[in-house]
Structure 1
Amino acid sequence: MKGADIMFEKITVSRVLNSLVPISRFNKGEANKIFEEVRETGFKIVVKNNTPACVLLKPELYEQMLEAIEEYRLLLEAERRMEKAKEDDFIPQEKVLSDLGIISTDLENVDVEIE
């Protein structure tokens, strides 16, 4: 299972129940086996006294989650700025091109990659 598939996979009760790992398994020397299960399934929820104590994630999934959080934070910031924006905060493209000495035909065969 790939990281992107894991992050957007439907969460089901069955999947959550199958992800539970009693902390006693670590005490029994099963850490390597548990880490292999994390590599296969993407995550495990470690429980101590029937209460979630931590979540073990594949590094790729953790990175995806951090990226998603950062993208959401940027979205909120952009929305906040747009709410406060006034018409005179914007500059027409024609004025920018003119100020930079660029004519629209200069841009016709330019490849642009937006990340």
Structure 2
Amino acid sequence: MLNNISVSDVVNSLVPISRFNKGEANKIFEELKETGFKIVLKNNSPACVLLTPEAYEELLENLENYRLFIEAEKRVEKAKPEDFIPAHVAMQELGIKETDLEGTDVEIE
């Protein structure tokens, strides 16, 4: 929802706080459902950002994914060759056979 935001999207998302004072909150929230976000201006300066629950969840998920990415990069930088073992050795240690994996879908994140 928040992907590919253009400058015109940002400009169109600006909402003066006076619109809330004029009883237009319901209209603003309907617009919010369409755009995903609104930037509320107070004295012509951003005062807050309104997000739909979906956009907020997307933002939190992206932040968590980024945090995990940074952690993975740090681990790779510190890793030594002896920290790794081949898949067949891990499978042997865990008692897993190739036939055990047939017909299974594995998703690695």
TM-score (norm 1): 0.85
Cα distance, 1:15–1:111 mapped onto 2, change above 3 Å: closer
Residue 9 of structure 1 is matched in structure 2 by: 4
1:49 to 38, 43, 46: 43
Partner residue, 2:92:
98
Q: What amino acid maps onto 1:55 in structure 2? A: V
Partners of 2:104 and 2:31 in 1: CA distance: 47
Task: Select 1:66's aligned residue among 60, 63, 69.
Answer: 60
Counterpart-to-counterpart distance in 2, 1:94 and 1:74: 26
Name the residue aligned to 2:71: 77
Residue 16 of structure 1 aligns to a residue whose secondary structure is: helix
Structure 1 residues 37 and 88: alpha-carbon distance in aligned structure 2, compared to 1, 3 A threshold: same
Distance 2:11 2:92 in 1: 62
Total equivalences in the alignment: 109
Gaps of at least 5 residues in structure 1 are: 1-5
- Structural RMSD (CA): 1.5
Pair 110,18 (structure 1): closer, same or farther in 2 beyond 3 Å: closer
Task: Extract unaligned runs of 5+ from structure 2.
Answer: none
- The alpha carbon displacement at 1:107 in A equals 2.0
Q: Aligned to 1:7, what secondary structure does the other structure show?
A: coil
Q: Distance in 1 between matches of 2:5 and 2:14?
A: 17
- TM, length-normalised to structure 2: 0.90
Alpha-carbon distance, 1:17 to partner:
1.5
% of aligned pairs identical?
66
Whole-angstrom CA distance in 2 between matches of 1:31 and 1:46 = 11
What's the offset of the Cα at 1:103? 2.5
Q: 1:81-115, CA deviations, whole angstroms, 9 ceiling, x for partnerless residues?
A: 00000111112212111112222233233232445
